[in-house]
Structure 1
Amino acid sequence: MLHHSATDYQSNKEDITGEIISRSICKNQSERWLKEYPNYKCDYHFIIGHTGEVFKAQPIEQPAWHCTNYQANLVSIGICFLGNFENIEMSTEQFNAGVELIKTLMKEYNIPLTNILRHRDVVSDISHTSNSTKCPGKNFPYIHLLDALRDGEPFFDIGEDYPYINEVKTLKQLGIIKGDGKEYLRPDDFITREEAMLIVYRIIKLLQN
């Protein structure tokens, strides 16, 4: 689960890596949950600074209350990128550190690409809808991050566990299917008549060549 801190990425000019503001965030969050969870450390398992420094926070074996969905909190890893990405762009160093961390976690915990979500993608227990928050911000490079993590998977919303993954890879390679233009296949949507005719047209053109 991807978040932004919605704060400055450093507490002052001397806080080069963001370590001080990371500690401050964790301190505030641990104090908020002190009565219910005396050993609680942070709402995030990892915090990533704008220079690429990764700070460990809540132990990964323990849940962190990083989104307003109880079940999601129990089974997810919360990663917070320091900064307010409603207002700023992410640095290359921070982006690369995020990609490296997430790739490591995906491999270690067998997490499919389809499970890499933004906070805003989660259905809130309060509103019962997604998009109940702007987190991690309109400038968060989510699509670019998924692309960096994709590692051969043809679309963002399917992974190696998709039952027709090999067929989809072949069809995309041949140019017969191209997704929705944003690198999503949307396999649960009904195909439209226009889409079906376009696929038939591409197959005919391929056979003619």
Structure 2
Amino acid sequence: MPRLDLTHIVIHHTGAEEKDTEQIRRYHMKLGWQDIGYDYVIEKDGKVVEGRSLSVQGAHAGVTYYNQHAIGVAVIGNLSKRDIYPEQLSSLIELLKNLLVKYHIPIKNVLLHREIKKTECPGDRFPKATVMAALEEYFSPKPGPEKPADPNKELEKLLAMLQEERKKNQILQQRVKQLEKALEEIQGIILKNR
């Protein structure tokens, strides 16, 4: 059955310490599935491997709606028993960023498997807060360059400063004239008294 439009991403752990994606694929196919159930798998070293094609219905959620509309991303390991490896975490965050952009999926639609079905997946030690914070930071609006000043307002400021300086200059010129006049009067008095 073809996949309908993609609206969500569901994060899983494999629940075991498989060697690689191929081991999981073989196991799922032994169960009678046509391919691995996950669309992407993040191996222990952080390598991202494509799994089931997004053109066919997923087999990862255990809920029909999410198998039809969600991208299933699995991290190899049992994240109830151990922390996610740093390489896996950084690869997961980068993969999620790319998928959110490519398929226009909102961040709020990134879900853990246990949020849609009664399960422990992706494990109690899965760092959801860290993942979501990284996505929020990446997609939050960044402040743009400072807006250039309005040239008209700048010109008005300069004209106001010039007028203020002219007033000060006029006052100074008046004081100079007053001082010159006072000096002439003093010189006149001195000459008379000689």
TM over 0.5: yes
Whole-Å Cα distance in 2 between the matches of residues 96 and 89 of structure 1?
A: 13
- Sequence identity of aligned pairs in percent? 26
> Structure 1 residues 152 and 49, CA, compared in 2 at 3 Å: closer, same or farther?
closer
Whole-Å Cα distance in 1 between the matches of residues 89 and 61 of structure 2?
A: 22
Alignment of 1:120-199 (within 5 A): 120-122=114-116, 124=117, 132-151=118-137
Where does residue 191 of structure 2 map in the other structure? none
Whole-Å Cα distance in 1 between the matches of residues 138 and 25 of structure 2?
A: 36
* Structure with more of its chain in helix, by fraction: 2
> Structure 1 residues 89 and 152, CA, compared in 2 at 3 Å: closer, same or farther?
closer
Residue 45 of structure 1: how far off its partner (Å): 0.4
Whole-Å Cα distance in 2 between the matches of residues 56 and 65 of structure 1?
A: 14
Specify the code of the residue in structure 2 equivalent to 1:75: H
Residue 151 of structure 1: how far off its partner (Å): 3.0
Where does residue 7 of structure 1 map in the other structure? 16
Contact residue 63 and residue 76 of structure 1 kept, 8 A? no
Structure showing greater radius of gyration is 2
Secondary structure of 2:45's partner? coil
TM-score (norm 2): 0.64
1:47 equivalenced with 2:33 (yes/no): no
Secondary structure of 1:84's partner? coil
When the two structures are aligned, how many residues end up with a matched partner? 132
1:30 equivalenced with 2:63 (yes/no): no
Residue 30 of structure 1: how far off its partner (Å): 2.2
Deviations, residues 44-93 of structure 1 (Å, cap 9, x unaligned): 00000121101111012221111121111100000000000000011111
Secondary structure of 1:29's partner? helix
Q: Which runs of 5+ in 1 are unaligned?
A: 12-18, 35-39, 125-131, 155-159, 161-209
Deviations, residues 144-176 of structure 1 (Å, cap 9, x unaligned): 00111113667xxxxx9xxxxxxxxxxxxxxxx
Specify the code of the residue in structure 2 equivalent to 1:139: R
Whole-Å Cα distance in 2 between the matches of residues 45 and 152 of structure 1?
A: 23
Where does residue 82 of structure 1 map in the other structure? 76
Specify the code of the residue in structure 1 equivalent to 2:27: N
Whole-Å Cα distance in 2 between the matches of residues 97 and 150 of structure 1?
A: 16
Whole-Å Cα distance in 2 between the matches of residues 26 and 110 of structure 1?
A: 28
Specify the code of the residue in structure 2 equivalent to 1:2: I
1:71 equivalenced with 2:57 (yes/no): no
Q: Which runs of 5+ in 2 are unaligned?
A: 1-9, 142-194
TM-score (norm 1): 0.60
> Structure 1 residues 80 and 32, CA, compared in 2 at 3 Å: closer, same or farther?
same
* Structure with more of its chain in strand, by fraction: 2
